[in-house]
C-alpha cells in the first residue's frame, strides 16, 4: 500500500472509533444530541486523533486506552468550530459546503451543542479511567488535554484572535494566536499519545516541541496557500484574508520568507522527531504531507 | 457558634479555596481571564462546594484532595449562568444586581468566557491527579463530574428547558428539567464528596438518591416561594413565572400539594442520609435550611 491508501485506511478506522463514542439520539434532550452528531459527522480530516494514535504507536502504545482520548480531541476541535461559527463570533452559515450547526438548529441550540461537545469530550476521555493501564497515565493525559484546550491553549488563542479582528497585528501577537489557537491541540494530540504509551517526561517535552513546530508550519503553509492558490486560479493574489484585511504570516514576512520559514520550521520538527529513541515512518510522512500540502 | 455563624465561616473558607484556583489576569488573553473572574466573583451562596465538602467530611475525608473539585463544581455552575444569560438564550443584562458577563464584556467574550470556565473547571479538577490519594478516587470523581454536567445531566436539562419555553409542560418533562438542570450538580457535589473520601459504591448510590431528593425539594420550594413571597408583598399572587406563563410545579399541582410534596421529599432525603453509617449534623441542618427557606 502506498501512503495515500494507508492514510485512507487509517482515516476510516479513526472514523469508526469516533462514531463508537457518539451519543445515541434518544431521550427528551434528543435535539442537542442530534446537533452534536451533526457537527462531528460534518466532515474533517481527523488529523488530531491520527497524530495522537501515531505517536502512541511510535512509543509502543497498544490497546484501547488511547481511543477515548482520540474521540475527545476531535470533539474539542468540533466544539471550537461550532462556537466559532456563531452569529456573535464569525457568523458563518456554511462550513465545508454544509450548513453550520447554529444555522440548522438555531442560535441557542448552537451554543448548547458546543457546550455539550466540550463537556462530552472530557466525559469521553474520563471513560479511560475504567480501562486497563489508566491508573498510571490517564490522569496526566487529562491534565494535558484540559490545559491545551483552555485559556493557556486553544481558547487563549481564540480570544486574542477575536480581539485582533480588523486591527493590524504585530508578529508576536500573530505567533501567539498560531501557537495557541492551532498549535495547542496538535501538541495535546501528540503529547497524549506519548504519555499514554508510557513515555518519560523528557521525551514528552521533545514531542511537545516537535508538535509546536508542526502546528506553526501548518498554519504558515495555510497563509501561503491562501495567496498562491488564488494566484494560480485567478492569476492575481486576491484572497480571503486580504479581503478581510487580515494580518497573516505572509503579509508580515512576505511570500518568499514565509516559504523559507516553513521549510526551516518543518526541518526542525523532523529533526526533533528523528532524534527520539523510536520512530514511525508513517507519522513522518503524514507531517511532511501536512506541511507541504498544495491545497 | 450557632448554625448561621458556622455557615458564614464555612462560606468564607470556601470563598478562599475557590479564589486560590482562579487564573491570574495576565498575558495577551487577559480579557477572558478578567471576564471569568468577574463571573465567579459576582456572588453566589457556594452551595455546591459546601455540599461537596460536608459530604467529604461526613465520610471521613481529610486533606486537600477535595479542593480542586470544589472549585470545579462552582466553575461549572458559573459557566452555566454565563451562557444562560446570553442574548440568544435568556437575554439577561443583570443577575444578582450586577451586570451579566456578556453585558460587560460583549457577546463574543460572553461565549468565550463561558467556554473558558467550563474547560477550566475540568483543568482545575485534573490538578487533583497531582495530589496524594488521587490514584484511587480522582478518576471516578471526574467521571461523575463530567457526566452530571453534560447531556445526561445539567446540559440535558437546560436543552429541554429551552425547548419548553412558552409551551405548556406536563409533569414528566418538568421533573426531567428539575432533576437534570438543578439536581444533577447537587448529586455530583455530594457524590464526589463521598467518592473522594473513599466511600464504597452502594453508599455513593445512597448519597446520589438523597441528593436527587434535595435538588427536587429545593426546586419545588423555589416555585412555592415565587408564589408566596409575592402574595406576602403584594397581597396577590402575581409572580415572575406567571408573567412568563411558565409551567411550574405549583401551576401543575397547586400550592398546597406542592408544599406537601416538598415536605415528603425532604423527609425522604433526610431518612436516606440518616441511614448512612456516618453522620454530619451541619450537613443535615444545611439541607433543612435549603428546603425550608423563606426567600
Please state, in angstroms and rounded to a whole number, the distance separating the CA atoms of residues A251 and A226: 11
Which pLDDT score is estimated for B246?
Answer: 82
Choose, out of B120, B159, B185, the residue to mutate when testing the contact with A (most A CBs < 10 Å).
B159
Pairing of strands A94-95, A98-99: antiparallel
Please give the torsion angle defined by the CA atoms of residues B59, B70, B80 and B26, in that order, rounded to the nearest 10 degrees.
-170
User: Inter-chain contact B151–A116, Cβ cutoff 8 Å?
Assistant: yes
Is pLDDT at A182 greater than 80 in this prediction? yes
A146: which chain B residues are within 8 Å (Cβ-Cβ)?
A: 119-120, 122-123, 126
Residue of chain A with shortest Cα separation from B144: A123
The H or E element spanning position A98 is strand A98-99
Q: What is the mean pLDDT of residues A136-165?
A: 96
User: Inter-chain contact A123–B135, Cβ cutoff 8 Å?
Assistant: no
Residue of chain B with shortest Cα separation from A79: B115
Which pLDDT score is estimated for A143?
Answer: 98
- Scanning A101-200, the segments in alpha helix (DSSP H) are 101-105, 107-126, 134-149, 154-164, 171-177, 184-196
Min Cα distance A280 → chain B (Å) is 30
Please give the torsion angle defined by the CA atoms of residues B37, B41, B47 and B49, in that order, rounded to the nearest 10 degrees.
40
> What sign results for the dihedral spanned by CA atoms B69, B70, B76, B79?
negative
Which pLDDT score is estimated for B166?
Answer: 83
Please state, in angstroms and rounded to a whole number, the distance separating the CA atoms of residues A181 and A187: 11
Please state, in angstroms and rounded to a whole number, the distance separating the CA atoms of residues B146 and A120: 7
Please state, in angstroms and rounded to a whole number, the distance separating the CA atoms of residues B42 and B78: 9
Choose, out of A141, A143, A151, the residue to mutate when testing the contact with B (most B CBs < 10 Å).
A151
Residues B263-267: contacts with CB within 8 Å, 24+ apart? Answer: B265/B213, B265/B216, B265/B217, B265/B220, B266/B213, B266/B214, B266/B217, B266/B291, B266/B292
Q: How far is CA B289 from CA A174, A205, B11, in A?
A: 53, 51, 15
- Name B94's bridge partners: B99
Please give the torsion angle defined by the CA atoms of residues A175, A181, A183 and A186, in that order, rounded to the nearest 10 degrees.
180
Is pLDDT at A116 greater than 60 in this prediction? yes
Is pLDDT at A205 greater than 60 in this prediction? yes
Which pLDDT score is estimated for B244?
Answer: 58
Point out the residue among A32, A122, A162 whose CB comes nearest to the CB of B151.
Answer: A32
Nearest to residue B142, comparing CAs of B69, B224, B217, B86?
B69
Which pLDDT score is estimated for B92?
Answer: 97
Length, in residues, of chain A: 295
Is pLDDT at A241 greater than 60 in this prediction? no
Question: What pTM was estimated for this model as a whole?
Answer: 0.95
**Residue B87 CA from chain centroid, whole number:** 23
- Scanning A178-280, the segments in alpha helix (DSSP H) are 184-196, 201-234, 240-243, 249-253, 255-274
Residues of chain B with pLDDT under 70: 230-245
Point out the residue among A29, A135, A140 whose CB comes nearest to the CB of B151.
Answer: A29
Which pLDDT score is estimated for B68?
Answer: 98
Angle between helices B281-292 and B3-21 (to 10 degrees): 90
Q: Which residue has the higher pLDDT, A165 or B142?
A: B142
Q: How far is CA B133 from CA B64, B180, B195, in A?
A: 10, 30, 11
Q: What is the mean pLDDT of residues A129-154?
A: 96
Nearest to residue A118, comparing CAs of B151, B22, B82?
B151
Reading the block at residue A260, the C-alpha cell is 523559507
- Tens digits of residue pLDDT in B142-201: 999 999 999 999 999 999 999 998 888 999 999 999 999 999 999 999 999 999 999 999
b/e string for A255-286 if b means 16 or more Cβ within 10 A? beebbebbeebbebbbebbeebeeebebbbeb
B40: which chain A residues are within 8 Å (Cβ-Cβ)?
A: none
- Tens digits of residue pLDDT in A6-42: 999 999 999 999 999 999 999 999 999 999 999 999 9
Which pLDDT score is estimated for A295?
Answer: 74
- ipTM given for this complex: 0.95
**Residue A212 CA from chain centroid, whole number:** 12
Is pLDDT at A243 greater than 80 in this prediction? no
B27: which chain A residues are within 8 Å (Cβ-Cβ)?
A: 156
User: Inter-chain contact A115–B111, Cβ cutoff 8 Å?
Assistant: no
- Tens digits of residue pLDDT in B223-250: 999 888 866 665 555 555 555 568 899 9
Using a pLDDT cut of 70, give the percent of chain A over it: 95
- Tens digits of residue pLDDT in A44-101: 999 999 999 999 999 999 999 999 999 999 999 999 999 999 999 999 999 989 999 9
A109: which chain B residues are within 8 Å (Cβ-Cβ)?
A: 159, 162
Q: How far is CA A129 from CA A52, A57, A270, B144, B171, in A?
A: 18, 20, 33, 12, 37
Q: How many CB atoms lie within 10 A of CB B148?
A: 27
Min Cα distance A175 → chain B (Å) is 12
Q: Assign A291 a pLDDT band (cuts: 50, 70, 90).
A: confident
B146: which chain A residues are within 8 Å (Cβ-Cβ)?
A: 119-120, 122-123, 126
Nearest to residue B78, comparing CAs of B8, B26, B21?
B21
- Name A94's bridge partners: A99
Which pLDDT score is estimated for B47?
Answer: 96
Burial (CB < 10 A; 0-12, 13-18, 19+), residue A231, is middle
Q: Assign A187 a pLDDT band (cuts: 50, 70, 90).
A: very high
Point out the residue among B27, B155, B180 whose CB comes nearest to the CB of A119.
Answer: B155
Point out the residue among A23, A79, A123 whose CB comes nearest to the CB of B146.
Answer: A123
Residue of chain B with shortest Cα separation from A89: B108
Q: What is the mean pLDDT of residues A104-128?
A: 98
Amino acid at each position: 500500500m502506498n501512503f495515500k491508501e494507508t492514510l485512507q485506511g487509517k482515516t476510516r478506522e479513526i472514523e469508526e472509533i469516533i462514531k463508537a463514542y457518539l451519543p445515541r439520539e434518544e431521550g427528551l434532550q434528543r435535539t442537542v444530541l442530534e446537533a452534536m452528531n451533526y457537527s462531528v459527522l460534518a466532515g474533517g480530516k481527523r488529523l488530531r486523533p491520527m497524530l495522537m494514535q501515531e505517536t502512541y504507536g511510535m512509543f509502543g502504545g497498544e490497546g484501547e486506552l488511547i481511543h477515548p482520548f482520540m474521540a475527545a480531541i476531535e470533539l474539542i476541535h468540533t466544539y471550537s468550530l461550532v462556537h466559532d461559527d456563531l452569529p456573535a463570533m464569525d457568523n458563518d452559515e456554511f462550513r465545508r459546503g454544509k450548513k453550520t450547526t447554529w444555522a440548522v438548529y438555531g442560535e441557542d441550540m448552537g451554543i448548547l451543542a458546543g457546550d455539550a461537545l466540550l463537556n462530552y469530550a472530557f466525559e469521553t476521555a474520563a471513560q479511560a479511567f475504567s480501562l486497563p493501564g489508566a491508573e498510571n497515565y490517564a490522569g496526566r493525559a487529562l491534565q494535558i488535554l484540559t490545559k491545551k484546550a483552555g485559556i493557556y491553549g486553544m481558547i487563549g488563542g481564540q480570544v486574542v484572535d477575536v480581539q485582533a479582528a480588523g486591527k493590524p497585528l504585530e508578529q508576536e501577537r500573530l505567533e501567539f494566536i498560531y501557537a495557541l489557537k492551532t498549535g495547542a491541540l496538535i501538541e495535546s494530540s501528540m503529547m497524549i499519545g506519548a504519555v499514554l504509551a508510557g513515555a518519560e517526561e523528557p521525551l514528552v517535552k521533545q514531542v511537545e516541541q516537535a508538535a509546536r513546530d508542526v502546528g506553526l508550519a501548518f498554519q504558515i503553509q495555510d497563509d501561503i496557500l491562501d495567496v498562491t492558490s488564488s494566484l494560480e486560479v485567478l492569476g492575481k493574489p486576491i484572497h480571503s484574508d486580504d479581503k478581510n484585511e487580515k494580518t497573516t504570516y505572509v503579509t508580515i514576512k512576505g511570500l518568499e520568507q514565509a516559504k523559507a520559514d516553513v521549510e526551516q520550521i518543518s526541518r526542525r520538527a523532523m529533526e526533533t522527531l528523528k532524534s527520539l529513541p523510536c520512530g514511525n515512518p508513517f507519522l513522518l510522512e503524514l507531517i511532511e504531507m501536512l506541511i507541504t500540502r498544495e491545497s
